[in-house]
Structure 1
Amino acid sequence: MWSHLDANMHMRHSAYADFAAQARIEALDELGLDLKTFQRLHIGPILFREETKYLREVSINEQLTVTTALTGSRKDGSRWAIRHEIFKADGVKAAVIVVEGAWIDTLKRKLAALPEDLAEHFNQIPKSADFVEL
C-alpha cells in the first residue's frame, strides 16, 4: 500500500512490524483469543522485545504472506516467543520478525497469566522446529 512506503519507495521498516502484529492477532483470534475475550478478562499481550531481519526489498502492490510460529513458551503460556516470516508472492523470504512477550492485566498494569483453558488454546499456535520450553 502507498501508506507502507518510505522515502526510498519501498516498504518502511515499521510496516513489517505492523504485518507481524496483525498476523499474531489473527492467529490468536483463530484460537478463541479474540479482543472481546481480552477485554472481558482485562488481559492483553505485550512485547518485551521485537527484532526484525530485513532480507529483501518489498515494493508497492506486492502480495505478501506472513507466517506465525511459536518458538518458545512456558507451559502455562505466560511467557512466549513468536517468529514471523514475511514472504513475497514468488516465495522469496523478505523478512524475519521475532518477538518475545507475555500478558498484562490491563487494570492492575502488572504481568498476568492466561486462564488455564485459554493457555491451552494459546499453546496450539503452530510450533517451530526449534521450539523450546521457556
Structure 2
Amino acid sequence: MNTFFEGPVLWSQIDANMHLRHSAYADFAAQARLNLLDQFGLTAAQFQALKIGPILFREELIYHREVSANDTVRVSCEISRCKKDGSRWSIRHELFRKDGIKAATIYVDGAWIDMQKRKLTALPPELMEKFQTLPRTEDFTEDPA
C-alpha cells in the first residue's frame, strides 16, 4: 500500500454519533493527494508559479467500517486511470484504521486547470515526467490523449 497520509482523528472531525464525520474522509484523501504530489516533486509552489492547479469533477466515498474518536488513519493514493498526456486522471484512496481494517474507499476524477485562462490544460513536460512516476493501481488504465 502506498500510504501518503497518516494521522490522528481529531475531536472536531467527529459527528453526533461519535464517528468520523463524512466530510473528514474527503479531507484526509485531499491531504494524501497533496502529500503524494509533493513527495514526487510536484510541489504547490511549482503549481502556483505556473498558475496551474488540480480540480475535481467527481468524488465518491464508499464506507466500509466506522472510524471513532482518538483513532489513527492511514490513507493510500494510487492513480487508477489517466489520459496519455496526463490532463485527466483518477485516483483511488483507501483509508485504514489503526487496527488495519479498511474503513473507506475514495475515488476521485480530476484534471489540471490553467487558473488564468480558467480552462483545462495539460502539465508542462517537466511536471508530466514526474506525474508519470506516481504509484498506479494494479488495474491502471491509460486512455488515449
Percent identity between the aligned chains?
Answer: 60
2:122 is aligned with what amino acid?
Answer: A
- Aligned 8 A contact 1:69 1:126 in 2: yes
SS in 2 for 1:90: coil
Q: Give unpaired runs (5+ residues) of structure 2.
A: 1-9
Runs of 4+ in 1 over 4 A off after TM superposition: none
- In structure 2, the residue matched to 1:55 is 64
Asked if 1:97 is matched to 2:109, the reply is no
SS in 1 for 2:77: strand
TM-score between both structures, scaled by the size of structure 2 = 0.90
Q: Deviations over 1:61-102 (max 9, x none)?
A: 101110001101112211100000001111110000000000
Q: Deviations over 1:37-71 (max 9, x none)?
A: 01100000000100000000000110111000110
1:56 is aligned with what amino acid?
Answer: R
**Cα distance in 1 for residues equivalent to 2:41 and 2:136:** 18
- In structure 2, the residue matched to 1:78 is 87
- In structure 2, the residue matched to 1:26 is 35
2:101 is aligned with what amino acid?
Answer: V
- In structure 1, the residue matched to 2:135 is 126
**Cα distance in 2 for residues equivalent to 1:29 and 1:90:** 27
TM-score between both structures, scaled by the size of structure 1 = 0.97
- Give the superposed CA RMSD: 0.7
**Cα distance in 2 for residues equivalent to 1:60 and 1:123:** 37
Residue from 28, 35, 38 that aligns with 2:44: 35
